[in-house]
């Protein structure tokens, strides 16, 4: 009889211990989730500011393009138009990133948070890569037909090599600014600000939850 009572007491103790551990795990998980969400606030503020500044800048560029002198070079007009297009695409991507942060903030599921954070991280990198694609236009805006016709040697042996160099650099950066290179030194130098560091910090908190649940 005494053995049965002792066994029952042990069972009751095990149940209480299991409930206590489960409660502690839940509390720790919720705290880490909240830390992950709070860590993204600087990134969200930065992206909101980027959208506001980007919209104002795009309006100014569009106004300038619209009122551009009719005799302005077609190369200048095309360069500005491409720059404006890339700016609008970047703004749209930043808006999408702000939405992703809001979805992470409203999410209670760790897996969903990790998936959306991965999308946010990739999008943050991709928008920079897309911006680099416009590098060639910074070497084409000054080209004119007069330059081509009157100083062909300067055009072909000075201007065009510069355009080729900018084009190569833009394509290389677009292809290599990728999450897979995030551990490389040049990548870390490029992505060092509060926007990127807050995203990494959030991911670190979520990773800690994953490691804790595996214990």
Predicted confidence (pLDDT) per residue in 5-52, tens digit: 555 555 555 555 455 545 455 655 666 778 888 889 999 999 999 999
Average pLDDT, the chain: 84
CB atoms within 10 A of CB 102: 13
Mean pLDDT of 100-105: 91
Mean pLDDT of 62-66: 93
| Measured CA distances, 113 to 5, 39, 87, 101, 199 (Å) | 46, 13, 28, 9, 12
């Amino acid at each position: 009889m005494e053995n049965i009572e002792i066994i029952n007491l042990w069972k009751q103790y095990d149940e209480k211990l299991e409930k206590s551990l489960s409660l502690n795990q839940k509390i720790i998980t919720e705290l880490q989730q909240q830390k992950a969400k709070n860590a993204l606030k600087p990134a969200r503020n930065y992206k909101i500011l980027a959208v506001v500044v980007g919209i104002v800048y795009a309006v100014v560029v569009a106004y300038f393009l619209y009122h551009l002198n009719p005799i302005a070079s077609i190369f200048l007009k095309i360069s500005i138009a491409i720059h404006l297009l890339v700016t609008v695409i970047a703004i749209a991507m930043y808006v999408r990133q702000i939405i992703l942060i809001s979805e992470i903030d409203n999410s209670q599921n760790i897996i969903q948070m990790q998936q959306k954070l991965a999308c946010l991280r990739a999008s943050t990198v991709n928008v920079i890569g897309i911006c680099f694609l416009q590098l060639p236009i910074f070497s084409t805006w000054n080209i004119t037909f007069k330059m081509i016709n009157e100083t062909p040697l300067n055009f072909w042996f000075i201007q065009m090599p510069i355009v080729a160099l900018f084009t190569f650099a833009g394509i290389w950066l677009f292809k290599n600014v990728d999450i897979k290179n995030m551990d490389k030194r040049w990548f870390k130098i490029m992505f060092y600000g509060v926007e990127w560091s807050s995203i990494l910090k959030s991911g670190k908190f979520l990773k800690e939850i994953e490691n804790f649940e595996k214990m």
